[in-house]
Amino acid sequence: MMWIALAIHVTDEALTGFLSVYNPTVLALRAKLGYWPMPTFEFREWLTDLTIGIMVLALLSPAAFRNAAWFRPIFFFVAIVAGVLNATGHTVATILGHTVATVRFSRPAPGFYSSPLLMIVAVYALLQLRRSGRS
């Protein structure tokens, strides 16, 4: 279930100092580009927001299991953005050892350890969405 993989991933990020890489990356991108749509966070705010989001996904799980038509686009979005793209980002950052040129870190990147699980669950979710869309 996607919400469980996300909960594990957020725990991994929290324990490995994700915000110490994320916030400087956002600030560097804003400085370079003049605008960057992602916010910076304090730890408590970040963890609270993600916890609420994960709880909402958990509460919506019955809709996913029923294959509710209204939930399919939401689930697709979560699988792509929070799953595939998120896991890919942590993996690429681990390979490079940085996010942007000015934000370097020792490898692996924060949040990397749970990225394979997140990717597997997201790909499985996408396959299930594809399969169940044909029924």
pTM of the entire predicted model: 0.92
Domain count, the chain: 1
> So what's the pLDDT on residue 57?
94
Residue in this structure with the two tokens 């038509």, named with its chain if needed: 69
Per run of 10 residues, the mean pLDDT along the chain (length 135 residues) is 95 97 98 95 98 96 90 94 97 97 95 98 95 75
> So what's the pLDDT on residue 135?
54
CA distances to 57, 90, 103, 120 from 2, rounded to whole Å, are 8, 17, 29, 10
Domain housing 29: 2-133
Angle at 105 between CA 104 and CA 111, to 5 degrees: 120
Would you give the DSSP letter of residue 79?
I
> So what's the pLDDT on residue 101?
95
> pLDDT digit string (tens) for 46-77?
999 999 999 999 999 999 888 899 999 999 99
